[in-house]
Structure 1
Amino acid sequence: MILRTGQRVVFVGDSITDCGRRDVAAPYGNGYVSLVRALVDARHPELEIEWVNRGVSGNTVRDLAARWDADAIAERPDWLAVLIGINDIWRRYTDRPAEAVGIDEYERTLRDLLRRVVAATGCRLILGDPFFIEADRGDPQRADTDRYAEVVAGLAAEFDAVHVPNQAAFDRVLAVSPAKRWADDRVHPYLPGHAVLADAYLSALGLR
């Protein structure tokens, strides 16, 4: 158990984190953040954790940088959970390739953001891998995603962060089931896919 009584856990990221938290499913969203919160609170009510969701749909690491002061540093987290990179990659495979973020910029920007928030708040970090719900590692978008996930794993080691291997979690279920069972676009999970993510977060935090 690494969470402590009364700590503030802030999640920041893109649509996978957002999940309607700004409107129909305020304030936690209806995805993995809500599931992690519910399960931790149910199993450890004595902790009285404060949960905050600051995901914004469509974000890349560039967008995260633009709102970092307000949505990460100003929240004064004890733990900051970051899941970003899926759009940075995916845009290359859509009709918006100019908005894709190359891997060098991604790593440089994310490292800078993490340094800033740790220096300003002293928080601990939880870094989740970007993922693509596709079992074929030869698929171009899957191959790119694996490269970006390696960046996140490296940053987790660099910052002594909790590392959440989201792609590995999906690979486990994809070994025995089709991608369509988890998401229609291989990016935005159905609720069972969010449960796969929540399970990965709980395991990484030692809460299973």
Structure 2
Amino acid sequence: MVAMVDYPYPASFLQPLPAWPVKAVCAHLTDPTLPDKDLVRHVASAVLVYYNYTGTVPCLNISQTATQSLGVTGWWYQSCTELPMPMCSNGKSDMFEDHPWDQEAFAADCQRQWGVRARFDWPLVFYGGRNITAHSNIVFSNGLLDPWSAGGVLHSPTASLVALVIPDGAHHADLRASNPSDPVSFRNVRRAELKAIREWCGHHGTSSLRNRPVSKSWLHTSI
């Protein structure tokens, strides 16, 4: 979650956090050779950066990963009906505890919470899965600091399916309001997005861009 919102300025999208919160968290985790009790204290200090950076929270609710004002309830419903995302860990090739994916349990939880059937094949049936070349006029912007970028469209399949990569960007950094601390890459990618949209508007009512050759200037553009 911290990596997801690793913005270059203070923000409160998930929780109130300082600028570059990953660095703030890691500042407490620099010495793995400390005695166990000291390690626990340092881990606690790192956790406090995410859950109580303002110092105003009397008791940590570590089961709540985002502020209530974000309204994440809608996302959990959508993950059942439109975007189920199987996730798992084994504790060996990753840094997390062993947590296998249980599709039946996920489906049962969707039924229990929302009274809906989990549609695991919906993205494939509705959008075509990874074969998206039939679509057009979409910008896929990917901040590589955001762990979600691992599932992003990082290369432009066609001229009107534009992939933009922001090496120092976190989750939808380009869609946030401009900030004096924005790196040049943020400003550049916003210009590239506007350029693409203006081109689509200019071609409205004329020949479609869908089947045109991919412009080299758009191929895996790293801003």
Indicate the TM-score class for this superposition, using the shorter chain for normalisation: under 0.3
Question: Which is bigger in relative contact order (C-alpha 8 A, separation at least 6)?
Answer: 1
TM-score normalised over the length of structure 1: 0.22
TM-score normalised over the length of structure 2: 0.21
Rg larger for = 2
Q: Normalized per residue, which structure has more helix? A: 1
